Structure 1
């Protein structure tokens, strides 16, 4: 499929890759297969394999026990021209909690490894950090498509993204214009309505959680995605689902970077619904290198 063709539907592409097929169920593991979204540079988008791993693990757990946390490691770059095999190990089925380990493979080689936990809904203590004040509404911010034609790292057109994106204070896809600060906020939502399946929205939330989370690290050092020789790769990813949220409605992704050292940077994020409900928390460490640092 040509992603620049007029009839290309990026939301349909997202739904396609999240619709895993069941290959087989063994005594100790369940096997699923998923397609990949074609990418200009040939590398699988990390959020895709995150979301697919969530779907695979969730398929082995009753629907009334949804995923509440995951911790994963990106082991190797994936090939977007190939399908991905997901092996799910049933680690534990307790009274309230369930644990699953998911390994993603291409041609027999692991590219991603995840452990996830599931819990049935139950009453308990409840609080949440409030959504920051003073964030402009999505309609007040420019569409990402106005930032230029291609993402400098993936070379994917912004119109090819299944999500609408609005940056605060502004995107990093052109020359850096400041301010230099280790935080930002991003509004995101699917480009059109999604089915009502709660698992689909949890998986799609994982998909979007890998988008833009690296940028507070760049902002802290006055860098944009166009920095010559910039080399960025996700190392690991953790996510906690606190409350339900629809991905086809505007979500505010509040992001910050507490530290960077040794060619690695850490970023954290909180995802809010438009009415201020904290839906999820995210943490990711990335490799980030510049040419002069490599020479040193």
Structure 2
């Protein structure tokens, strides 16, 4: 296992600090605030520590405050219900005593049933595409130095965008994005870990889908962007150390908010998960001189 992947796995290994309370380390990925997917993955892992013999099938969460990438995160899990087939857990993430995320996770026993799915959309093979780091390397000479750390930091998730957006000169494009993603190294055979890491990775470059039709990006002056909530549904078993296609669209943007949806496919065409997110996409008005 590569060291960067080992560190990611260790970040998901929460420390118990009391009855149904856990603590996780934070990590600075070069963003202005703690990466939202980091809290999603750890919050999902915290809930799994309170249940046996059931797998998470859905998670719904709200981002309440920006997180601090240099402070630990405390997770409180509340046991809402344990039924014959389903269990529900509520989770609250805190830093410095303030809630930064609240959510709920539903678990389901394994059972047989009807089976259908959407066909996997066409996409270039990941081997034919540049990684995000390779694309960002081409931008460094034209990007302010304050963004260099954010653009070039080595991250545990390898992402290869299809039809990438130039953040310095974004063009108007349809509200649709695709990217291939996987961890940088092999992972243990733990299905819960793979689901938690997909929750982690599913927040990368998601809200940007709703920016495509407007010809703006996160580096566009006077733009304020932030994830407001996040939902993920797990349909089938998956492996995060094999290529997954993340196919995203944005049906609507209005009132300063952009709505985004995603489907995640394994390379052999199985639909393994779906996502949804609403984001703040606000263009600040310049202050009067």
Alignment TM-score, normalising by the size of structure 1: 0.89
Question: How far apart are the structure 1 equivalents of 2:23 and 2:156?
Answer: 21
Is the CA contact (8 Å cut-off) linking 1:86 and 1:103 kept in structure 2? yes
* Inter-CA distance 122–154: structure 2 relative to 1 (3 Å threshold): farther
* Inter-CA distance 245–272: structure 2 relative to 1 (3 Å threshold): same
* Inter-CA distance 190–255: structure 2 relative to 1 (3 Å threshold): same
Q: Which runs of no fewer than 5 residues in structure 2 stay unpaired?
A: none
SS at structure 2 position matched to 1:132: coil
- Pick the aligned partner of 1:24 from 18, 30, 39: 18
Q: Which residue of 1 aligns with 2:47?
A: 57
| Superposition CA RMSD, Å | 2.1
Question: How far apart are the structure 1 equivalents of 2:91 and 2:62?
Answer: 11
Q: Which residue of 2 aligns with 1:4?
A: none
Q: Which residue of 2 aligns with 1:164?
A: 158
Question: How far apart are the structure 1 equivalents of 2:15 and 2:155?
Answer: 24
Q: Which runs of no fewer than 5 residues in structure 1 stay unpaired?
A: 1-7
Deviation at 1:226, TM superposition (A): 2.3
Question: How far apart are the structure 2 equivalents of 1:41 and 1:278?
Answer: 30
Alignment TM-score, normalising by the size of structure 2: 0.92
Question: How far apart are the structure 2 equivalents of 1:156 and 1:53?
Answer: 24
- Pick the aligned partner of 2:27 from 29, 32, 37: 37
Counting only pairs closer than 5 Å after superposition, residues 183-262 of structure 1 correspond to structure 2 as 183-262=176-255
Matched, 1:287 2:275: no
* Inter-CA distance 190–196: structure 2 relative to 1 (3 Å threshold): same
Is the CA contact (8 Å cut-off) linking 2:167 and 2:220 kept in structure 1? no
Question: How far apart are the structure 2 equivalents of 1:154 and 1:95?
Answer: 52
Q: Which structure 1 residue ranges, 4+ long, deviate > 6 Å from structure 2?
A: 150-154
SS at structure 2 position matched to 1:156: helix
Cα deviation, 1:24-59, whole Å, max 9, x if unaligned, reads: 11xxxx100000012445521000000000000011
